Structure 1
Amino acid sequence: MLGPTCELAVAVARDLVEANHAKFKEADMSQTIAVVTYRLPEGMDRATALQMFRDSIPRYMATEGLLRKNVLYQKGIGGGVYLWESREAAEKAYSDEWKAYMTKKYEHPPRLIFYDSPITMDRQNDSIFDEGAVQHAAE
């Protein structure tokens, strides 16, 4: 059984894929989702954590290959669900330097999991993305 944090991360990852179909490139089948979680420093409250997350937005807005980031928060745990245009872009971002930075900033090493996203059902655009082929759900 997954713990609450993992269940939340998986649910957010699924929602992220479904909500971002418009960002997918029809010919590119290699979108990647990365789920990052980490323990927050002891005693950090929600307001402080959210402000730290907000302060990091400009850095992520400038990250090449990143299509979207959803911030995760649960008391004592922070993280994000990231939609990348490719596995290569994601792996480049999560370098040893990034891991050292995150460990220093949050006092604990991050946990990182990659997922391929070959099929997406997008209710907002009434479409299905299936390994590069896009069709409208009503077809």
Structure 2
Amino acid sequence: MITAVTTFRLPKPITREEARSIFLSTAPLYRGVSGLFRKTYMISEDGMTAGGVYFWNSRQDAEALYTDAWRARAREKYGADPTVTYFESPVVVDNVAEQILSER
């Protein structure tokens, strides 16, 4: 499993409500994306950094999303270029599903 963290250093701060509105406008784009099992949007307390934490089945699935078109859409929404950092996630605790997931 892979966790990808995306961040955008914004040109000016946005409020939580502004961030919520932007996030809700893009959230439907992530429904049904192959290999993505969860995305969490985030905004820093000072409103200067936004981003997301994505939980993927594989790095290949993740890389299929982060295309030039995805980056252009992000730049249009946030006025900033995104960074993407990948992490191996060999164990995931899911308290909602009451499971511990682990790769073999």
Give me the TM-score of the superposition, normalised by structure 2.
0.82
Give me the TM-score of the superposition, normalised by structure 1.
0.63
Q: Which deviates more, 65-74 or 34-43?
A: 34-43
1:85 aligns with 2:50: no
The structure that has the greater radius of gyration is: 1
Aligned length: 101
Identity over the aligned pairs, expressed in percent?
36
* 2-structure distance, mates of 1:103, 1:70: 19
- What whole-Å deviation, never above 9, does each CA across 1:29-54 have from its counterpart, x for those lacking one? xx211100102342432211111101
1:39 aligns with 2:12: no
Cα offset, 1:55, TM superposition:
1.4
- Shift in alpha-carbon separation, 1:119–1:105, aligned structure 2, 3 A: same
SS at match of 2:80: coil
- Shift in alpha-carbon separation, 1:64–1:113, aligned structure 2, 3 A: same
Q: Which sections of structure 2, spanning at least 5 residues, go unmatched?
A: none
Higher relative contact order (CA 8 A, sep 6+): 2
Q: Which has the higher helix share?
A: 1
Query: How much is the aligned-residue C-alpha RMSD, in angstroms?
Result: 1.9
